[in-house]
Amino acid sequence: MLELLDYPFMRLALAAAVVTGITAPAIGTFLVQRRLALLGDGIGHVALTGVALGLLTGTAPLLTAVVAATLGALAIELLRAYARTSGDVALAMLFYGGLAGGVMLINLAGDSAAKLNSYLFGSIVTVDASELTVVAILGALVLTVVAAATPQLFAVCQDEDHARVSGVPVRLYGILIAVLAAITITVAMRTVGLLLVSALMVVPVAAAQQVARSFRGTHLLAMALGLFAAVTGVVTSFEIDTQPGPTIVLTALASFAVLAAARGALALTRRRKRRPLELG
Amino acid sequence: MPVSEGDTGRAPVLRARGVTVELGGRTVLSGVDLTLCPGEVIAVLGANGSGKSTLVRASIGLVARRSGTVELFGTPLEHFRERARLGYVPQRSNESTGVPATVREVVLSGRLARRRFVGPASRADRAASERAIELVGLSDLVRRPVTELSGGQHQRTLIARALASEPELLVMDEPLAGVDAGSAAQLALTVGDLVAAGTAVLLVEHDLGPLTPVVDRAVVVDHGRVVFDGPAADAPAEHVHHHPHAGEPARLEPLPGEGVL
């Protein structure tokens, strides 16, 4: 199995998977806590327009995607805060605008459906060294900010009113979360693709919740599960010749199923222990 | 500035003058005054939709005022930075439960106004949280996720979070809602202890129940105006319990963009 490390492109792919696997649930935990699990999806669609603009203008798509995703994230936060539009309608509009804009611009740029596909579903094995550098820098940036601001982010996501009364600039932190999510999405874009990016932000968190009882426990376990899913997914996809993105997401979903089942079994044995006479 | 209320000579803990609030085009409060002196306990009473909750939320900057002034500890609300002096216990229903969090984690988040901007919680932060948890009698549940608590235990967690910053003013929005009679009695004891230690309390409630003995003054709000301000025992009950014009509360959730901070 270690033979895959002989291929330079697999080494780059695994490195990208490690960064993505840890970073996505690190910020995803706050999205889930804030009940904005689908925010990543909305931003991902907008990032596609950014990618298309990059292809159209001959700029690195990764960079234009960061810019577009960040602007999209700001738009969502501002719509949520100021507009009379409800959060889900604002998200829906960004979904459609981003996707339609991206596909149309990629057509205009004269690129093929295969190119579009590689951004929608990821193409981790075509990651080159310069892209990996950008991915690693952005990933490190997100992790550093999350680690430093966790108390504030926790407070804002747990109870906005209480955080505001405590003097936390709630709106600023809301924007920070959205921007970090946007950067994470561009980090994960090459690994799992824009359509599945949100899965890696949300599914490991949902899986961790099955067994963790504290916020910190959920946060750390989610990152570990994200790392596991990303690396296992890349290795599996190499072995059985499937696309890495969907393989990673299915691995994450499988970890959720296993932990949910384990939790169910645990609850059942606990109940039995409490009523030992019924064991008969 | 002369302080007519109280004889301490210190600035009032809270001083609201002519507070008018509009929410969604409807006037919810019109020209309300409220003064709270150090160590005083005021209960704001009123029917659903009377504006009692809005009065308290406007007093701490959670609802934007259309006009009027609010001062906390002698400082205009807009410039009030000593956030640790203010402890807030929101209505329980507003808390998000997307990811589990333990009693200890939630209470520690009450230290935000005091802790360092970056870095782990200090020993003092942890000690203050543990003290607050002990004060509300939850020391054996510190590792329990808040979602697994009873209504009364959850309420006590939120009070501990507010107490973690060692506040001089405790603001509580319907602390007895969804709390069983036994827990309500214990809550009243906790509040009594705080008051004895010198904490001023501003609370919103439908029915004071076991809290009645700790309350110094009752302020009854009806249709966005103060209709009574005096000893709790003399508060007109008809405004508090049933009101012919009051429907269900207009909203429990804040409108988007309500915050002014």
A158 and B90 within 8 Å at the Cβ level: the answer is: no
Q: What is the mean pLDDT of residues A40-59?
A: 88
- CA of A201 to nearest chain B CA: how many angstroms apart? 13
Q: What is the pLDDT of residue B242?
A: 45
Nearest to B105 among A34, A35, A214 (CB): A214
Chain A to chain B Cβ contacts (< 8 Å): 110
- CA of B113 to nearest chain A CA: how many angstroms apart? 5
B62 touches chain A (CB under 8 A): yes
Q: What is the pLDDT of residue A153?
A: 94
A157 touches chain B (CB under 8 A): yes
Cβ-proximal residues to A279 (8 Å cutoff; 6+ apart), any chain: A272
pLDDT tops 60 at residue B30: yes
- CA of A76 to nearest chain B CA: how many angstroms apart? 13
- pLDDT tens column, B200-255: 999 998 888 888 888 989 999 998 899 889 888 787 765 554 444 444 444 444 44
B257 touches chain A (CB under 8 A): yes
Q: What are chain A's domains?
A: 2-195 (1.10.3470.10)
Q: What is the pLDDT of residue B70?
A: 92
Q: Which residues of B touch A164 (CB under 8 A)?
A: 61-62, 259, 261
Q: Which residues of B touch A84 (CB under 8 A)?
A: 256
Task: Please tell me whether the overall predicted TM-score, pTM, comes out greater than 0.80 for this model.
Answer: yes
A205 to chain B: nearest residue by CA? B99
- pLDDT tens column, A86-104: 667 777 887 888 889 888 8
- pLDDT tens column, A219-241: 999 999 999 999 999 999 988 98
Q: What is the mean pLDDT of residues B136-146?
A: 90
CATH class of B1-73+206-242: alpha beta
- Tracing tokens 């549940």 back to the chain, one arrives at B141
Our CA angle for A276, A278, A280, nearest 5°, is 95
- CA of A143 to nearest chain B CA: how many angstroms apart? 14
Nearest to A162 among B115, B161, B254 (CB): B161
A162 and B90 within 8 Å at the Cβ level: the answer is: yes
**Candidate ranges A35-49, A215-229, A239-253; pick with highest mean pLDDT:** A215-229
As a whole number of angstroms, the distance between CA B185 and CA B211 comes to 8
Nearest to B257 among A82, A149, A165 (CB): A82
φ, ψ of residue A148 to 5 degrees: the values are -75, -35
Q: What is the mean pLDDT of residues B196-202?
A: 90
Greater pLDDT, A223 or A61: A223
Q: What is the pLDDT of residue A210?
A: 92
Cβ-proximal residues to A231 (8 Å cutoff; 6+ apart), any chain: A14, A17, A18, A21
Q: Which two tokens stand for residue A72?
A: 């999209």
Q: Which residues of B touch A160 (CB under 8 A)?
A: 94
A216 touches chain B (CB under 8 A): yes
Nearest to B60 among A37, A165, A218 (CB): A165
**ipTM for the assembly:** 0.86
Nearest to A158 among B61, B95, B259 (CB): B95
Q: Which residues of B touch A213 (CB under 8 A)?
A: 100, 102, 143-145
